[in-house]
Structure 1
Amino acid sequence: MIADWNGLLPLSGDVVVVEDDEILRPLMQDILSGINARVVTFGTADDALIHVLDNHGYCSLLIADHGVPGQLRGTELAAMFKAKWPHIAVIVTSGYELDPETLPDGVAYLQKPWAVSELMQTVGDLLQPGVALKRV
Protein backbone atom coordinates (compact mmCIF):
# COMPACT_ATOMS: atom_id res chain seq x y z
CA MET A 1 0.00 0.00 0.00
CA ILE A 2 2.58 2.60 1.08
CA ALA A 3 5.17 1.72 -1.57
CA ASP A 4 2.67 2.61 -4.31
CA TRP A 5 3.25 6.38 -4.01
CA ASN A 6 5.24 7.67 -6.97
CA GLY A 7 6.77 11.00 -7.75
CA LEU A 8 8.49 11.81 -4.44
CA LEU A 9 11.96 10.62 -5.24
CA PRO A 10 14.81 11.20 -5.49
CA LEU A 11 15.39 12.53 -2.00
CA SER A 12 18.81 13.83 -1.18
CA GLY A 13 19.30 13.67 2.54
CA ASP A 14 17.65 12.09 5.51
CA VAL A 15 14.03 12.32 6.46
CA VAL A 16 14.18 13.19 10.15
CA VAL A 17 11.16 12.20 12.23
CA VAL A 18 10.75 13.55 15.76
CA GLU A 19 7.97 11.71 17.56
CA ASP A 20 7.81 10.56 21.18
CA ASP A 21 4.89 8.15 20.68
CA GLU A 22 6.42 4.65 20.69
CA ILE A 23 3.74 3.34 18.30
CA LEU A 24 3.57 6.26 15.88
CA ARG A 25 7.35 6.72 15.47
CA PRO A 26 8.01 3.28 13.88
CA LEU A 27 4.80 3.56 11.87
CA MET A 28 6.01 6.84 10.36
CA GLN A 29 9.36 5.22 9.65
CA ASP A 30 7.63 2.37 7.82
CA ILE A 31 5.43 4.75 5.81
CA LEU A 32 8.34 6.92 4.70
CA SER A 33 10.67 3.97 4.11
CA GLY A 34 7.99 2.73 1.70
CA ILE A 35 8.97 5.55 -0.67
CA ASN A 36 12.65 4.57 -0.33
CA ALA A 37 13.47 7.46 1.98
CA ARG A 38 16.34 7.10 4.44
CA VAL A 39 14.46 7.74 7.68
CA VAL A 40 16.11 8.62 10.97
CA THR A 41 13.83 8.80 14.02
CA PHE A 42 14.18 10.50 17.37
CA GLY A 43 12.07 10.77 20.51
CA THR A 44 13.24 14.32 21.24
CA ALA A 45 13.88 17.42 19.17
CA ASP A 46 17.17 17.85 21.02
CA ASP A 47 18.53 14.56 19.67
CA ALA A 48 17.29 15.34 16.16
CA LEU A 49 19.03 18.73 16.17
CA ILE A 50 22.31 17.16 17.30
CA HIS A 51 22.04 14.56 14.52
CA VAL A 52 21.42 17.14 11.81
CA LEU A 53 24.19 19.44 13.07
CA ASP A 54 26.61 16.48 13.16
CA ASN A 55 25.62 15.67 9.56
CA HIS A 56 25.97 19.28 8.37
CA GLY A 57 22.29 19.71 7.55
CA TYR A 58 22.10 16.62 5.33
CA CYS A 59 18.33 16.43 5.50
CA SER A 60 15.50 16.71 2.97
CA LEU A 61 12.57 16.72 5.33
CA LEU A 62 11.85 17.22 9.02
CA ILE A 63 8.62 15.93 10.52
CA ALA A 64 8.37 17.03 14.14
CA ASP A 65 5.68 16.51 16.73
CA HIS A 66 5.07 19.72 18.64
CA GLY A 67 4.77 18.21 22.12
CA VAL A 68 7.92 16.14 22.50
CA PRO A 69 9.92 16.00 25.73
CA GLY A 70 13.27 17.72 26.11
CA GLN A 71 14.58 21.26 25.93
CA LEU A 72 13.12 21.97 22.48
CA ARG A 73 9.54 21.64 21.33
CA GLY A 74 8.87 20.47 17.79
CA THR A 75 7.75 23.96 16.74
CA GLU A 76 10.98 25.46 18.07
CA LEU A 77 13.00 22.90 16.10
CA ALA A 78 10.95 23.73 13.00
CA ALA A 79 11.75 27.44 13.43
CA MET A 80 15.46 26.67 13.85
CA PHE A 81 15.47 24.54 10.70
CA LYS A 82 13.74 27.22 8.63
CA ALA A 83 16.18 29.87 9.89
CA LYS A 84 19.37 27.82 9.36
CA TRP A 85 18.33 25.58 6.46
CA PRO A 86 15.44 27.25 4.57
CA HIS A 87 15.70 24.66 1.78
CA ILE A 88 14.68 21.81 4.13
CA ALA A 89 10.98 20.92 4.02
CA VAL A 90 9.34 20.94 7.45
CA ILE A 91 6.10 19.46 8.77
CA VAL A 92 4.87 20.00 12.33
CA THR A 93 2.31 17.60 13.77
CA SER A 94 0.34 17.79 16.98
CA GLY A 95 -2.48 16.09 18.81
CA TYR A 96 -3.35 19.53 20.11
CA GLU A 97 -4.77 22.15 17.83
CA LEU A 98 -2.09 24.65 16.84
CA ASP A 99 -2.70 27.90 15.04
CA PRO A 100 -0.86 27.46 11.71
CA GLU A 101 -0.30 31.24 11.73
CA THR A 102 2.15 30.76 14.63
CA LEU A 103 4.40 28.50 12.55
CA PRO A 104 7.29 29.87 10.48
CA ASP A 105 6.66 30.55 6.80
CA GLY A 106 6.88 27.43 4.70
CA VAL A 107 6.16 25.01 7.57
CA ALA A 108 3.26 22.64 6.95
CA TYR A 109 0.95 21.56 9.77
CA LEU A 110 -0.78 18.19 10.20
CA GLN A 111 -3.29 17.78 13.01
CA LYS A 112 -3.26 14.33 14.61
CA PRO A 113 -4.72 11.93 13.91
CA TRP A 114 -3.75 12.28 10.25
CA ALA A 115 -4.41 9.79 7.49
CA VAL A 116 -1.52 8.23 5.57
CA SER A 117 -2.81 9.94 2.43
CA GLU A 118 -2.67 13.34 4.19
CA LEU A 119 0.92 12.73 5.28
CA MET A 120 1.97 11.62 1.82
CA GLN A 121 0.20 14.52 0.11
CA THR A 122 1.87 17.01 2.47
CA VAL A 123 5.29 15.41 1.91
CA GLY A 124 4.72 15.57 -1.85
CA ASP A 125 3.53 19.19 -1.73
CA LEU A 126 6.67 20.22 0.14
CA LEU A 127 9.26 18.16 -1.71
CA GLN A 128 7.88 18.62 -5.21
CA PRO A 129 5.48 21.56 -5.28
CA GLY A 130 3.13 21.50 -8.24
CA VAL A 131 3.81 17.83 -9.10
CA ALA A 132 0.75 15.64 -8.68
CA LEU A 133 1.21 12.44 -6.73
CA LYS A 134 0.10 9.25 -8.41
CA ARG A 135 -0.94 6.00 -6.82
CA VAL A 136 -0.72 2.83 -8.85
Structure 2
Amino acid sequence: MIVEDDPVLLPLMVEMLSEVRARIVAFETADGALNHLTEGSSYCSLLIADHGVPGKLSGTQLAALFRAKWPKSAVIVTSGYELAHATLPEGVVYLQKPWAGGQLVDIVVRLLQPGIAFQRD
Protein backbone atom coordinates (compact mmCIF):
# COMPACT_ATOMS: atom_id res chain seq x y z
CA MET A 1 0.00 0.00 0.00
CA ILE A 2 1.33 3.42 -0.97
CA VAL A 3 0.01 6.69 0.45
CA GLU A 4 1.44 9.70 -1.39
CA ASP A 5 -0.23 12.94 -2.48
CA ASP A 6 2.41 14.09 -4.96
CA PRO A 7 0.89 13.49 -8.45
CA VAL A 8 4.33 12.92 -9.98
CA LEU A 9 5.83 10.78 -7.23
CA LEU A 10 2.88 8.41 -6.70
CA PRO A 11 2.84 6.87 -10.20
CA LEU A 12 6.64 6.71 -10.13
CA MET A 13 6.55 4.74 -6.86
CA VAL A 14 3.92 2.40 -8.28
CA GLU A 15 6.06 1.79 -11.36
CA MET A 16 9.25 1.18 -9.34
CA LEU A 17 7.58 -1.30 -7.01
CA SER A 18 5.90 -3.06 -9.91
CA GLU A 19 9.42 -3.97 -11.05
CA VAL A 20 9.78 -6.18 -7.96
CA ARG A 21 6.38 -7.74 -8.69
CA ALA A 22 4.59 -6.00 -5.84
CA ARG A 23 0.82 -5.92 -5.93
CA ILE A 24 0.00 -2.31 -5.15
CA VAL A 25 -2.94 -0.27 -3.95
CA ALA A 26 -2.33 3.47 -3.89
CA PHE A 27 -4.04 6.37 -2.16
CA GLU A 28 -3.53 10.13 -2.07
CA THR A 29 -4.69 10.39 1.56
CA ALA A 30 -4.18 8.37 4.72
CA ASP A 31 -7.93 8.65 5.29
CA GLY A 32 -8.62 6.79 2.04
CA ALA A 33 -6.06 4.13 2.90
CA LEU A 34 -7.58 3.66 6.36
CA ASN A 35 -11.05 3.25 4.84
CA HIS A 36 -9.64 0.57 2.54
CA LEU A 37 -7.99 -1.21 5.48
CA THR A 38 -11.10 -1.16 7.64
CA GLU A 39 -13.38 -2.34 4.83
CA GLY A 40 -11.31 -5.42 4.08
CA SER A 41 -9.60 -7.97 6.24
CA SER A 42 -6.94 -9.03 3.75
CA TYR A 43 -3.35 -8.98 4.89
CA CYS A 44 -1.09 -6.18 3.71
CA SER A 45 2.65 -6.82 3.96
CA LEU A 46 3.93 -3.28 3.36
CA LEU A 47 2.85 0.32 3.88
CA ILE A 48 4.75 3.26 2.42
CA ALA A 49 3.22 6.50 3.65
CA ASP A 50 4.19 10.11 3.21
CA HIS A 51 3.92 11.85 6.56
CA GLY A 52 2.40 15.08 5.23
CA VAL A 53 -0.61 13.93 3.25
CA PRO A 54 -3.88 15.90 3.31
CA GLY A 55 -6.83 14.76 5.41
CA LYS A 56 -7.54 14.03 9.05
CA LEU A 57 -4.74 11.47 9.43
CA SER A 58 -1.05 11.97 8.78
CA GLY A 59 0.98 9.20 7.20
CA THR A 60 2.67 8.62 10.56
CA GLN A 61 -0.68 8.21 12.31
CA LEU A 62 -1.73 5.73 9.63
CA ALA A 63 1.56 3.88 10.15
CA ALA A 64 0.76 3.50 13.87
CA LEU A 65 -2.71 2.12 13.11
CA PHE A 66 -1.26 -0.18 10.45
CA ARG A 67 1.37 -1.54 12.87
CA ALA A 68 -1.37 -2.17 15.44
CA LYS A 69 -3.34 -4.25 12.92
CA TRP A 70 -0.34 -6.02 11.36
CA PRO A 71 2.62 -5.78 13.77
CA LYS A 72 4.90 -7.95 11.62
CA SER A 73 4.30 -5.96 8.42
CA ALA A 74 6.90 -3.61 7.00
CA VAL A 75 6.24 0.13 7.23
CA ILE A 76 8.13 3.00 5.63
CA VAL A 77 7.32 6.63 6.40
CA THR A 78 8.66 9.28 4.04
CA SER A 79 8.76 13.04 4.38
CA GLY A 80 10.33 16.07 2.81
CA TYR A 81 10.79 17.39 6.33
CA GLU A 82 13.07 15.87 8.91
CA LEU A 83 11.08 13.82 11.40
CA ALA A 84 12.37 12.88 14.83
CA HIS A 85 12.71 9.10 15.06
CA ALA A 86 11.00 9.27 18.46
CA THR A 87 7.79 10.40 16.72
CA LEU A 88 7.67 7.27 14.56
CA PRO A 89 5.94 4.06 15.64
CA GLU A 90 8.25 1.26 16.71
CA GLY A 91 9.71 -0.72 13.83
CA VAL A 92 8.97 1.90 11.18
CA VAL A 93 11.69 2.75 8.66
CA TYR A 94 12.08 6.46 7.96
CA LEU A 95 13.12 7.57 4.47
CA GLN A 96 13.63 11.31 4.04
CA LYS A 97 12.85 12.90 0.68
CA PRO A 98 14.34 13.32 -1.74
CA TRP A 99 15.34 9.69 -2.05
CA ALA A 100 16.65 7.80 -5.04
CA GLY A 101 14.40 5.22 -6.69
CA GLY A 102 16.93 2.48 -6.17
CA GLN A 103 17.12 3.35 -2.49
CA LEU A 104 13.36 2.85 -2.06
CA VAL A 105 13.36 -0.45 -3.95
CA ASP A 106 16.36 -1.72 -1.99
CA ILE A 107 14.64 -0.93 1.32
CA VAL A 108 11.41 -2.60 0.21
CA VAL A 109 13.22 -5.74 -0.93
CA ARG A 110 15.29 -5.83 2.27
CA LEU A 111 12.16 -5.53 4.41
CA LEU A 112 10.08 -8.06 2.50
CA GLN A 113 12.79 -10.54 1.54
CA PRO A 114 15.67 -10.32 4.02
CA GLY A 115 18.91 -11.69 2.65
CA ILE A 116 17.88 -11.42 -1.02
CA ALA A 117 19.51 -8.68 -3.07
CA PHE A 118 17.53 -7.00 -5.84
CA GLN A 119 19.27 -7.26 -9.20
CA ARG A 120 18.72 -4.24 -11.43
CA ASP A 121 18.83 -4.68 -15.18
TM value normalised by structure 2:
0.92
The answer as to whether partners of 1:124 and 1:133 remain within 8 angstroms in 2 is yes
Alignment gaps of 5+ in structure 1: 1-15
Q: Distance in 1 between matches of 2:62 and 2:75?
A: 10
Shift of 1:57: 4.1
For residue 131 of structure 1, report the CA deviation from its aligned partner.
3.1
CA distance in 1, matches of 2:84, 2:76: 14
- Cα distance change on mapping 1:36 and 1:132 into 2, 3 Å: closer
Aligned partner of residue 62 in structure 1, secondary structure: strand
1:94 aligned onto 2:79: yes
Are 2:6 and 1:21 equivalent residues in the alignment?
Answer: yes
Q: Which one has a larger percent strand, Structure 1 or Structure 2?
A: 1
8 Å CA contact retained: 1:63, 1:93: yes
Higher RCO by CA contacts (8 Å cutoff, separation 6 or greater): 1
Give the superposed CA RMSD.
1.3
SS in 2 for 1:134: coil
Mapping of residues 1-136 of structure 1, within 5 Å: 16-136=1-121
Number of residues paired by the alignment? 121
Structure 2 alignment gaps of length 5 or more: none
Task: Give the AA of the match of 1:25.
Answer: L
Distance, in Å, in 2 between the alignment partners of 1:132 and 1:93 is: 22
TM normalised by structure 1 equals: 0.82
Give a deviation string over 1:27-84, Cα, whole Å, max 9, x none: 1111111222111110100100111222214211100000000010000000111112
Runs of 4+ in 1 over 6 A off after TM superposition: none
- Offset of residue 121 of structure 1: 1.5
Q: Percent identity?
A: 62
Alignment partners' CA distance in 2, 1:104 and 1:126: 16
